[in-house]
Amino acid sequence: MTTPSAEKPLLYEELAAQLRGMIGNGTLRAGERIPSVRRMARQRRVSISTVLQAYGVLENERAIEARPQSGYFVRPRGWNRPEEPGMSRPAPKPTSVHVSELSLQVMRLMEMTHDPNAVKFGAALPCPEWLPSAALNRMMAAAGRRRSDGGTGYEIVPGSQALRVQIARRALENGTALSADDVIVTCGGTEALYLCLRAVAQAGDTIAIESPSYFGVLTCIESLGMKALEIPTHPRDGVSLEALAFALESQPVKACVFVPNFHNPLGCCTSDEHKRQLAEMLARREIPLIEDDTYGEIAFSPYRPKTVKSFDRNGLVLLCGSFSKTLAPGYRVGWAAPGRFREKVTHLKMVSSLGNATLPELAIADYLATGGYEHHLRKLRKLYAEQTTLLTRAIGEHFPEGTRVTRPAGGQVLWVELPESIDAMELFYRALERNISIAPGPIFSPKQKYRNFIRLNAGVSWNERTEAALVELGRMMRA
């Protein structure tokens, strides 16, 4: 079995890994006796203490158990699904944001996505093998040949007409009536969020966000000198409307930024009724909502959830999307449909970059038109759903007692609450030493709270190394 470490494993680690593999693949079955310590030491030509150490590791992982006067046995494989974390309880006051000091750590997670030896639970990126890169590359080359300038010319704001038509067509799936003219293509969803925030608020303004919140939203708010007001958020139902109503009464909220569909990191998806009420509540107060629908396409069921934008009658919802999670994060293609703020966002996009790279836009437009996007999405959703189950199961088996895990109905991440004694930043650094990346909880909070939480990316291919890395994380936590 491979270990996630670059170093050579110690003898007891090697033995533990082999037995773990035999239990995992069913060679040693639940309830079966494993060789006694003496016998194993003889067979493997290792010392008794090496075997005791290996058995100790597996006992800690709850893979085997010692029965008095009988020896060691494989534990029954009964799988208890971990409990879910509860509603978050952030401080009910606007606060300045201090996450930029963690940017280096986040960059490290991004860098590790290029390392073939790393186990990548950190950045929320899809496994590259799941993406249609060959088809996209072909379409990019064909688009270059089709253009008289070979694709070297500007695709200035608001971006390729062909792509905007496709985005508007797809919006019908989530109940949103858009035309190509409503859409502005941006450099990933990140730029869409940044431009929309600049369009609706300025330095010193208070922005209501979910708690916890995506790192990218927090860095935008911080860099624009705005304040964040965290709203209690439930890991299944999303932002609390009661808490939001109270916040809107008591605080000068200028705008909201929410991720109602398969939130990052919580995975929650708010109901249609909740979305309708949210749209109405904000319309009554003329408060704009930046709705980040980056994960909306990744429902584990065939039902693609609606957007809040589909209930918006006043142009107050600025809908943002991206192709990073479903097609190609490196193409940097996202978009905004900013409602009544369209002109402002168009201007800001022009000031910031004139437009996007031409060919990735055209390749994605062609893929949406002819490449079988729906078929690809069906496969992708199934993969994300399967990986999420495997990951939850492995967490239940290998992480310490008291660990809680979200139960998302879509998206690609799990939010994991660890026993309070565990420090996520320390775990993050230790895991890095073993070439395992995880996203530590503090990057999801304006004041670096959530110190005993981590986020794990399910967009990884499952193999022995993936499982061994989770076992290793569990071991580090116990240590």
- Name the residue nearer to ligand PLP (CB basis): 334 or 338: 334
Residues that bind ligand PLP (CB under 6 A): 124, 188-190, 214, 216, 259, 264, 292, 294, 322, 324, 329, 334
The distance of closest approach from Cβ of residue 152 to ligand PLP in the complex, given in angstroms and rounded to an integer, is: 24
Collect all residues with Cβ–Cβ distance below 8 Å to 49 and sequence separation of at least 6: none
d(CA 275, CA 244): 13
The distance of closest approach from Cβ of residue 263 to ligand PLP in the complex, given in angstroms and rounded to an integer, is: 7
- Name the residue nearer to ligand PLP (CB basis): 155 or 292: 292
- Name the residue nearer to ligand PLP (CB basis): 4 or 188: 188
The distance of closest approach from Cβ of residue 297 to ligand PLP in the complex, given in angstroms and rounded to an integer, is: 12
Which two tokens mark 360? 């990735």
C-alpha angle 26-29-31 in degrees, rounded to nearest 5: 165
The distance of closest approach from Cβ of residue 157 to ligand PLP in the complex, given in angstroms and rounded to an integer, is: 17
- Name the residue nearer to ligand PLP (CB basis): 30 or 110: 110
In angstroms, the Cα distances linking 448 to 95, 202, 218, 263, 453 are 12, 23, 11, 19, 11
d(CA 382, CA 403): 26
The distance of closest approach from Cβ of residue 178 to ligand PLP in the complex, given in angstroms and rounded to an integer, is: 18
The distance of closest approach from Cβ of residue 335 to ligand PLP in the complex, given in angstroms and rounded to an integer, is: 9
- Name the residue nearer to ligand PLP (CB basis): 63 or 207: 207
The distance of closest approach from Cβ of residue 189 to ligand PLP in the complex, given in angstroms and rounded to an integer, is: 3
The distance of closest approach from Cβ of residue 67 to ligand PLP in the complex, given in angstroms and rounded to an integer, is: 47
Which two tokens mark 349? 């996009």
The distance of closest approach from Cβ of residue 377 to ligand PLP in the complex, given in angstroms and rounded to an integer, is: 16
- Name the residue nearer to ligand PLP (CB basis): 270 or 322: 322
The distance of closest approach from Cβ of residue 92 to ligand PLP in the complex, given in angstroms and rounded to an integer, is: 23
| CB 428, CB 441: distance < 8 Å | no
- Name the residue nearer to ligand PLP (CB basis): 4 or 189: 189
The distance of closest approach from Cβ of residue 324 to ligand PLP in the complex, given in angstroms and rounded to an integer, is: 3
- Name the residue nearer to ligand PLP (CB basis): 1 or 458: 458
- Name the residue nearer to ligand PLP (CB basis): 85 or 329: 329
Cis, bond preceding 9 (omega within 30 deg of 0): no
- Name the residue nearer to ligand PLP (CB basis): 214 or 373: 214
By beta carbon distance, the residue nearest ligand PLP is: 188
- Name the residue nearer to ligand PLP (CB basis): 214 or 367: 214
- Residue 187 corresponds to which amino acid? C
| CB 432, CB 3: distance < 8 Å | no
